[in-house]
Amino acid sequence: MSSPAATSNAAETADRRDAADAPDTADCRDAAEPSDVPGTSRTPSVLFVCVKNGGKSQMAEALMRHRAGEAIAVHSAGTQPASAINALSAQVITEVGADMSAGVPTPIDPELLARVDRVVVLGGEAQVDPVPGMRGTITTWHTDEPSERGIEGEERMRLVRDDIDARVAQLLEELTGEK
């Protein structure tokens, strides 16, 4: 299977907060893919992606695991993975009871990309292209970027965390019907 084209684009100059209310979604469902068998249950799955897989996508993964437990199969990856987790991201995640300390930045696995129910790209910098046979959808969350308003450090990271957490809660409800 060929690897997904994953590139990093220059940061968008438009205010992303306006776009946050209506996420971009590309329907990548394969029409030939059989539907789930009625009467059986299957664990929904999600892959969170950002460029480095050291901050936002790891935060989203940790927050979803914290909220959903085993109800969702959760993964994260990066288009250009960093060498380590962002320490400040990990610190503010612990403040809400989640944990991303064991996370390791990883590249996108094309086989995983093809089989998850949802791919969520965090921010406008990472680009994920569909792969053949992909059964899920790709959604882009234009997340809050407080640094564009001059907010830095722990305060910035808490705002990013809270924005991602609200979106994770909404996605959990969408995928499972649970809040």
- Confidence (pLDDT) at 81: 98
b or e along 24-34 (b: 16 or more beta carbons within 10 Å of the residue's beta carbon)?
A: eeeebeeeeee
pTM: 0.79
Per-residue pLDDT of the chain (179 residues; tens, 9 = 90+): 444 444 333 333 233 333 333 344 443 333 323 334 444 468 999 999 999 999 999 999 999 999 999 999 999 999 999 999 999 999 999 999 999 999 999 999 999 999 999 999 999 999 999 999 999 999 999 999 999 999 999 999 999 999 999 999 999 999 998 76
Question: What DSSP line would sit under 42-96, residue for residue?
Answer: ---EEEEEESSSSSHHHHHHHHHHHHHGGGSEEEEEESS--SS--HHHHHHHHTT
H or E segment and range at residue 126:
strand 126-128
Q: How many CB atoms lie within 10 A of CB 159?
A: 18
- Confidence (pLDDT) at 179: 62
Dihedral Cα 101, 103, 105, 111, nearest 10 deg: -170
Q: Report in angstroms the alpha-carbon separations of 101 from 5, 27, 147, 150, 174.
A: 28, 33, 24, 27, 27
Q: In angstroms, rounded to a whole number, what is the distance separating the alpha carbons of residues 108 and 50?
A: 10
